[in-house]
Chain A
Amino acid sequence: MRYYDRLIFELSRPGRSGYSLPGGGESVNFEGGLWRESSLVLPEVSEVDVVRHYTNLSQMNFGVDTGFYPLGSCTMKYNPKINEEIVPAFNALHPLQPESTVQGAREVLDFMDKALAEITGMKHFTFLPCAGAHGELTGLMLMREYHFSRGDTARTKIIVPDSAHGTNPASAAVCGLDVVVVKSRPDGLVDVEDLKPLLGPDIAGIMMTNPNTLGLFERDIKEIAALVHECGGLLYYDGANMNPLLGVVRPGDMGFDIMHLNLHKTFSTPHGGGGPGSGPVGVAEKLVPFLEKPRVSGFHGNFGVILRACAYILSLGRENIKLAGRLSTLAANYVKESLKDCYKLPIGTVCKHEFVFDGLSEPNGVSTLDVAKRLLDYGFHAPTIYFPLLFHQAIMIEPTETESLQTLDAFIEAMRSIAEEAKRDPELLHSAPHNAPIGRPDETTAARQPVLKYSAE
């Protein structure tokens, strides 16, 4: 990776251009009350300027194709290339074209509906949500519709575990629900005794991630499902951590009524630097009548992403899908067992696809942030840090099933040498990274004196 310090605006020269348009339009001048008066400041650059600029920018970026990316709860598995190649054949379809002219596209959606229903134990899916949090919001809307339909309008509260992803409470708030937090026990699982008194006629349901954000399977799920259903609530499954259950356990069989999947996690579509994702929502039979009611996006969801996930399912087939979850769990436990002597492991039981360390065993003043930044020097992306909030120095590691033993061993070795460096030379870690395109930037100034767009001065 190489530092490159230009913005496309700074390459601009008046009169230069990178467009190629058909002829015409010369006689049109946009003058008068409805037209733009202010000048439009966009770069004036040639095609080669654009290509070199963005190629240079890309070389300051780290992706799954660059190296190991063990970002917890993000499932950064390999993104197969065939999945990219099948998309352009669908590019010309207008979203409002009559059904009779989009039969191929409809068949993809039908196939995905059936395949995801089979994989999750749900009845049907809607593909409108464009990301995981968007799926959560849609799922909660469906939950509310279900209660509304029964005249049960008092259910305005939703239970969320203290270990939940931040999107859970945020989605609940956007959906007009009040959040009630249920505590975790010292073993990291939802405290059923803490849950019981929270249940009542004002509870719309519970949002759960299983395995939870500590990578632990909520083994009391059967009892929790029975308790929540008994009080008239529904169970929402946050599919962000579905990967270890892929081909092993179906959320529907555990008693969940509504769930979303992150196609960009479990089904290998590329994360794109923060989207586009896709967050289809599945429901049990009793919620199917409400499935099409919330119109949460413009057309049919992120169809191009759904195509890629479909290609992934076809490539895996029923033979390999059974292995995906199991191999992701194998990788996480292998890394955990290989590092637990030098990193603090607050919960030592078998994990699923990810696990959490609480900083170094012998920190010597070295923080989790320092460890993360030093890992960049070793050529790895850092794990998720300072989440979940249950542990102050959380390091959340998710290796996925697409990494070889050699890659995992190299990562383990890097983590071990960082633990050694912490004892010997903590300053080296405080000032890391040393080999990245930039060092740690001044984030305080960025927030206090925000510069959020280019200006010529």
Chain B
Amino acid sequence: MGTFAYFPHTPEDIKVMLERIGVASLDELYADVPAEFIRKEEYELPSAKSEEEVRAWFEGLASKNTRLKVFVGQGAYDHYTPSVIPYITSRSEFLTAYTPYQCEISQGTLRYIFEWQSMICALTGLDVANASMYDGPTAAAEAMRMCVACTRKRNTVVASSLLLPNVLATLRTYARYSGINLVETAEVYEAVAEGTLDLAGVIVPSINRFGIVESHKGLSGLVHEMGALLVEYCDPSALAVVKTPAEWGADIAVGDGQSLGIPLCYGGPYVGFMACRSEWMRKLPGRIVGQTADAQGRRSFVLTLQAREQHIRREKATSNICSNESLMALWCTVYLSLMGPEGMRKLNAICYERSHRLHDALLETGRFEDPFEGRTFLKEFALKPLCDVAKLQQVLLDAGFFAALPTPEGYVTFCVTERRSDEDIDALVKIIKEAAL
């Protein structure tokens, strides 16, 4: 004892503390635990490693992963992370704090959450945003629940089958246990027009899982006529250039902040966002930060509208969410601050140009057909392969590319971010052109 870096207790300290408590040993502190439950056997875990050994252990494992050039999106986009971000987010004052319960010494956290809320409102065009959700798919599930809560006794939610597969899977999970009637369909307008009296909400993608920028013309009118809410699932990076949820008349916008410079990191941590029109503000789940002042009139920020939350309302809360993804919200806030409106526009223009370059070159190889000819895409697109998909994938993997991810319809998807250079694109096309498929 006294030899492990994270435990500061010397044997003398322990003696002093035990004496104050009036017990003879550490084990005596567990005298109230039935003896049969106290573990006597050694835990089958590795022996303690030194810091350098820990480092080497992970370096060994990291080297077992294959570094690939990523040409796949499907909810996780390989955008560049500016060097400023990890420096800021690793500042101990942000990193090692918890939920800002003591607002007087948490103004840093509260202010960046307020900025994040403001930026999510700017991107979506909506009035109010919360402090964050776990990820995009869970944010969509919370939006589904919110539609039911906002329309009271209604219980049917229509979801476009062109939402990302992991969004649909998460919606199905939450619907199953909440008893929500989830209807998945490719024909959203028709499903709404059918006129289910029970319709609480409709969830559609801003950009669908084939990468196509969807038109939602007339949809919000139709949905509102039925007394239901319209939810749009969005890529926040793309919202800098595509029509916003507010412009399409949506009530709620959700999505994943990962595309705002968060590394792929095998799927997480990412961050969900959620925004709505102000009339639904008190049904919004999660934490919300608001502006106020202290007694001296200094601008101050606090957690507010807490009557919605589980620590006050328990089983009547709008959600069970407690910890969210605060640090990742900071990550995105710093990203958007660096990029600004012009950077976001330029970024999307580069993605657009490069993805179209790849799209056109792939069609020229004669190995694909375009099932969505004439439709608009931004950085992700789907093609119908005229060759063996499994073989194609393997050839690409062998050459160090992760591309051509198959869909259930037999298409393959590609995604091109600003990190893929013209040379990368040409190399990918060359391999496909020359491979014996």
Contact flag A24-B243 (CB < 8 Å), given A42-B336, A60-B107, A273-B99 = no
Surface stretch bound by A, among B132-140, B190-198, B220-228: B132-140
Task: Report the 9 A-B pairs with minimum CB-CB distance, sorted nearest first.
Answer: A299-B267, A317-B48, A25-B349, A272-B327, A95-B267, A19-B343, A63-B96, A61-B108, A65-B92
Taken together as a complex, chains A and B put the C-alpha atoms of A159 and B18 apart, in Å, by 37
Stretch at the interface among B282-290, B360-368, B380-388, B428-436: B282-290
Question: CA–CA, A276 to B133, complex, Å?
Answer: 10
Say yes or no for A230: interface residue by CB 8 A criterion: no
B374 within 8 A of A: no
- A55 touching B88 by the CB < 8 A rule? yes
Q: Which of A74, A300, A316 contacts B268 (CB 8 A)?
A: A300
Q: Per-residue CB proximity of A420-457 to B under 8 Å, as 1/0?
A: 00000000000001001111111101110011111000
B377 to chain A, nearest CB (A): 10
Give chain B interface residues in 56-77, CB to chain A under 8 Å.
57-68, 70, 72, 74-76
If A9-B118, A82-B51, A329-B29 touch, does A38 touch B246 (CB 8 Å cutoff)? Answer: yes
Assess the B315–A373 pair: CB atoms within 8 A.
no
Asked if B108 and A34 make an inter-chain contact with CB atoms under 8 angstroms apart, the answer reads: no
Min CB–CB distance A165 → chain B (angstroms): 8
Majority-rule SS of A interface residues:
loop
Binary flags per residue of A126-144, CB closer than 8 Å to B gives 1, else 0? 0000111110110011001
The answer on a CB contact under 8 Å between A63 and B93 is yes
Distance (Å) between the CB of A346 and the closest chain B CB? 17
- Given A24-B349, A319-B48, A350-B31, A51:B87 Cβ within 8 A: yes
Smallest Cβ-Cβ distance to B241: which chain A residue: A30
- Residue contacts A-B, CB under 8 angstroms, 30 given: A18-B337, A25-B348, A29-B349, A40-B344, A43-B337, A45-B337, A47-B338, A61-B97, A65-B96, A80-B5, A82-B55, A84-B95, A90-B265, A90-B266, A94-B78, A101-B68, A101-B397, A104-B65, A132-B323, A169-B315, A295-B172, A298-B138, A304-B269, A311-B58, A318-B45, A329-B26, A376-B102, A401-B6, A437-B107, A450-B304
Closest Cβ–Cβ distance, residue B274 to chain A (whole Å): 13
Name the interface residues of B295-320: CB closer than 8 Å to any CB of A. Answer: 295-296, 298-302, 304-307, 309-317, 319-320
A340 vs chain B, min Cβ distance (A): 11
Q: Which residue of B lies closest to A324 (CB)?
A: B7
Q: B71 to nearest A CB, angstroms?
A: 10
Task: List B contacts of A3 (CB < 8 A).
Answer: 107, 298
Known: A272-B94, A381-B102, A441-B103. 13 other contacts (CB 8 A): A19-B339, A33-B217, A36-B240, A61-B97, A78-B6, A85-B55, A91-B263, A103-B65, A131-B134, A248-B39, A253-B37, A271-B96, A337-B21
Interface centre among B109, B169, B266 (most CB of A within 10 A): B266
A93 to B178, CA, bound (A): 34
Chain B residue numbers with a CB within 8 Å of A304 are: 265, 268-269
Bound-complex Cα distance A324 to B244 (A) = 50
| Known interface pairs A42-B119, A104-B64, A439-B294; A35-B241 also in contact (CB < 8 Å) | yes
B263 near A17 with CB under 8 A, answer no
CB of B267 within 8 A of CB of A301, answer yes
User: Cβ of B46 and Cβ of A44 under 8 Å apart?
Assistant: no
**Contact flags (1/0) for A45-88 with B, using CB distance below 8 Å?**
10100110111011111111110010100101111101011111
B73 CB to closest chain A CB (Å) equals 9
B98 in contact with A94 (CB, 8 Å): no
Q: How many residues of B contact A (CB 8 A)?
A: 206
- Given the complex, which residues of A lie within 8 Å of B106, measured CB to CB? 60-62, 273
| A439/B296 contact (C-beta < 8 A), A275-B326, A296-B138 known | yes
Is B55's CB under 8 angstroms from A277's CB?
Answer: no
Residues of B with C-beta under 8 A to A44: 340-342
* Nearest-Cβ distance from residue A39 to partner chain B, whole angstroms: 7
Please judge, given known A-B contacts A275-B327, A318-B47, whether A92 and B281 are in contact too, CB under 8 Å: no
Q: Is the CB of A21 within 8 A of B137?
A: no
Complex CA–CA separation, A150 to B189 (angstroms): 39
CB <8 Å contact, A133 and B322: yes
Bound Cα distance A1, B102 (Å): 14
Encoded as 1 (CB less than 8 Å from any A CB) or 0, chain B from 234 to 245 comes to 000001111110
Chain B: which residue is nearest A334 at the CB level? B17
Q: Please choose the segment from A172-180, A190-198, A280-288, A360-368 that sits at the chain B interface, where 4 or more of its residues have CB less than 8 A away.
A: A172-180
Kindly list chain A residues whose C-beta atoms are within 8 Å of the C-beta of B37. 221, 249-250, 253-254
> What string of 1s and 0s marks CB contacts (under 8 Å) between A348-359 and chain B?
011000000000
Nearest residue, chain B, Cβ from A444: B292
Answer yes or no: B160 CB below 8 A from chain A CBs.
no
